[in-house]
Amino acid sequence: MNLSRLERLLGYQFKDQRLLVQALTHRSHSATHNERFEFLGDSILNFTVAAILFHRLQREDEGDLSRIRASLVKQATLADIAHRLELPQFLRLGEGELKSGGFRRPSILADALEAIFAAVYLDSDVPSVQAVIEGLYTPLLDSVDFNTLGKDAKTLLQEVLQGRKFALPVYNVVATSGAAHDQQFEVECFIAELDMRSQASGSSRRAAEQAAARKMLDALEKVLPKGSAKKRVRKVAQLTLPVAVEQEKK
């Protein structure tokens, strides 16, 4: 396996490339795998991102910093970075995982990325791994809106409406279907001042409410007058990840 391209994308050249190989090895491949590396890398990542945010965002309080960090280190974000590194082609997976498309699975990609951070640390030192993480995160940090990052659709909708002195939206369950263990909820989101309604379904009431709020945010972008409120809705639509309705737990 030629790992020189991955090293170039990481911006780090290993002295002991065996560490990188282990970081890329899933437990389905062999007994020498990356799970212990993942444990260490997760802690290194959280500390490094926390330090970056602490110095970058000096006016944010603890709650906002925690919200932003959680969004930056969550599985979906790590999987996106892993794709930028072309990580799927370098993973070492067992035959079963290969056949089931494990190289595309976000959880496997995120775990491998955290394991790589541990490998860099074990191969060098704390400043070196922090430099790697900062290099990977800088494009993301330079492009996001920290005011909306990590906030769910209901929170963002509430902020948009409060900014225009509107009352909060009302959510009502309008229908349920399916067996008790596999129900689907249909929820309506209603804004009285605008006489606007949106409906969405989900595997829980909470998931359906989030999906309905997302639809309402999209609709508001089309009807609100031009100005700061409309720009805010546009930012919300661009920077908030879609609600994973089917995966939301009851």
Q: What is the pTM of this model?
A: 0.67
Does the annotation list 114 as a binding residue?
Answer: yes
Q: What is the pLDDT of residue 236?
A: 39
The residue segments making up the domain with residue 13 are: 4-141
Q: Are residues 128 and 193 in the same domain?
A: no
Query: Under 8 Å CB-to-CB from 40, ≥6 apart: which residues?
Result: 118, 121, 122
| pLDDT above 90 coverage of the chain, percent | 61
Query: Under 8 Å CB-to-CB from 109, ≥6 apart: which residues?
Result: 78, 79, 82, 83, 87, 88, 91, 103
Q: What is the pLDDT of residue 196?
A: 93
Task: Tell me, yes or no, whether 94 lies in a domain.
Answer: yes
Q: Are residues 28 and 124 in the same domain?
A: yes
User: Which of 7, 35, 42, 248 is labelled catalytic?
Assistant: 42
Task: Tell me, yes or no, whether 127 lies in a domain.
Answer: yes
Grade residue 247 by pLDDT with cuts at 50, 70 and 90. Answer: very low
Does the annotation list 134 as a binding residue?
Answer: no
Average pLDDT, the chain: 87
Q: What is the pLDDT of residue 150?
A: 67
Q: Are residues 61 and 117 in the same domain?
A: yes
Q: Distance between CA 235 and CA 61 in Å, rounded?
A: 22
User: Which of 114, 123, 188, 209 is labelled catalytic?
Assistant: 114
Task: Tell me, yes or no, whether 236 lies in a domain.
Answer: yes
In the chain, the number of structural domains is: 2
Tokens of 98: 């290969």
Task: Tell me, yes or no, whether 146 lies in a domain.
Answer: no
Grade residue 125 by pLDDT with cuts at 50, 70 and 90. Answer: very high
Helices (H), the chain: 4-10, 17-23, 35-56, 62-73, 75-84, 95-99, 106-123, 126-141, 153-163, 205-223, 228-239
Grade residue 225 by pLDDT with cuts at 50, 70 and 90. Answer: low
3-state class (DSSP) for residue 187: strand
CB contact at 8 A, 200 and 187: yes
125 tagged catalytic: no
Q: What is the pLDDT of residue 226?
A: 55
Could you tell me the CATH number of the domain that includes residue 199? 3.30.160.20
- Tell me what the mean pLDDT of segment 51-70 comes to: 90
Q: What is the pLDDT of residue 67?
A: 86
142 tagged catalytic: no
Does the annotation list 125 as a binding residue?
Answer: no
